[in-house]
Structure 1
């Protein structure tokens, strides 16, 4: 039975000689892997491959079969046409970096409408912005809310934040208790919306330090999480 769905492209790899496998986070089914036959074979096939740029937002018609690890797409079209995400070198670097993280942390093969809407809306926001150097920091921090380890902020005035338990604390309890600039920035980012990001000014060194802290936070709470391979290149772009 044919089914209409929406999808955001998270990763893609070559499959066999000329096919493509795209991992997508979908509105109705969560994480789904699709095989696109002949996508790398000829001009007609390559026109299919264009749809599967990282973070592309698609409308698809599929014949979903629950017992198959790879699904097939019957019809496809762009749901939202990016103006700059794939053409601006800085935004495309963000897209590559965040897509790699999402590919690691998204495991749900079931519907999660709130998470899908979060991805859909925030990537559209990024597409329209001229100031976006801190986008990835707030994006990752807010993502923890959907993954189950958003910081508990009932004691937000405390002088330490413990990365291992996600709590603000009155004293340093272990090596994962942070203070100083990263703590100040964390408190500034908690609870704000993306439009407020432009009010937060930090240096590239502070940005890299806070990102490293966020990635450690992910490692501590997600056993399978690995630092993105694109991290070094990403930091060079935003240096």
Structure 2
């Protein structure tokens, strides 16, 4: 049966001589794998394979069978045309970080509408954002992704709760007796990031590149504490080098 759905390309791998298997985070069915034939040949229509780059947002017509692990795509086209993301090394690197993080976290082929819309919206806002927003976007997305996955932060930073306990996901008066916590300055910045209601407001949160780097690795530790099968990521060192952040 054919279905129309939006989808975000997560990963594309070569299959055979002319085909690819593409992992797509879809609006209707969550994470799905599709085989796409004839997109790596010399024929003119094979150029459409360029649309299957990680991070691209697609309009899809797909065949879907619940008992199959590998589905097929009937039609696909760009659902959103980036104006700057593919031409900006910094924005493209941020997008690849977001996609890699999603890939590490999405395991089951189940519909997750709120997470899908949040991810698509974030990628579109990244495309039109200033560099001040771009630099903080990986931190914001990481915190909010954790919330969508079920381990949100509880409480608020204050003089009475200046330490963020990453193991418990709560702000506390005293530092906990384990290493997974943030100092008061990092805890305050984290609270500001998490409370942002509009991505554009990220531009108003100022920090130096070393603080930003330490925060991102702390947030990834937060994921490891709550997702036992969360594995090492490759994009953060590249991200920090490209953003000088």
Render the CA deviation track for 1:155-190: whole Å, top value 9, x for unaligned: 532021111111111212222122133212112212
Q: Could you list the runs of 5+ residues in structure 1 that have no partner in the other structure?
A: none
Q: How many residues align?
A: 238
Considering only aligned residues, what root-mean-square deviation do their CA atoms show, in Å? 1.4
Match of 1:55 in 2: 55
- Superposed displacement of residue 197, structure 1: 0.7
Q: Distance in 2 between matches of 1:55 and 1:189?
A: 23
Q: Distance in 1 between matches of 2:222 and 2:39?
A: 38
2:147 to 142, 145, 148: 145
Match of 1:107 in 2: 107
Q: Distance in 2 between matches of 1:135 and 1:43?
A: 39
TM-score of the pair, normalised by structure 1 = 0.94
Match of 2:29 in 1: 29
Match of 1:187 in 2: 191
Q: Could you list the runs of 5+ residues in structure 2 that have no partner in the other structure?
A: none
Q: Distance in 1 between matches of 2:3 and 2:181?
A: 48
2:181 to 177, 182, 198: 177
Q: Distance in 1 between matches of 2:189 and 2:94?
A: 20
- Superposed displacement of residue 77, structure 1: 1.2
Q: Distance in 1 between matches of 2:220 and 2:185?
A: 16
- Contact between 2:162 and 2:188, CA under 8 Å: does it hold in 1? no
1:229 corresponds to 2:234: yes
Q: Describe how 1:70-81 pairs up with structure 2 within 5 A.
A: 70-81=70-81
1:134 partner SS: helix
Ranges of 4+ aligned residues in structure 1 off by more than 6 Å? none
Q: Distance in 1 between matches of 2:42 and 2:189?
A: 49
- Superposed displacement of residue 44, structure 1: 3.1
1:156 corresponds to 2:157: yes
- Contact between 1:215 and 1:227, CA under 8 Å: does it hold in 2? no
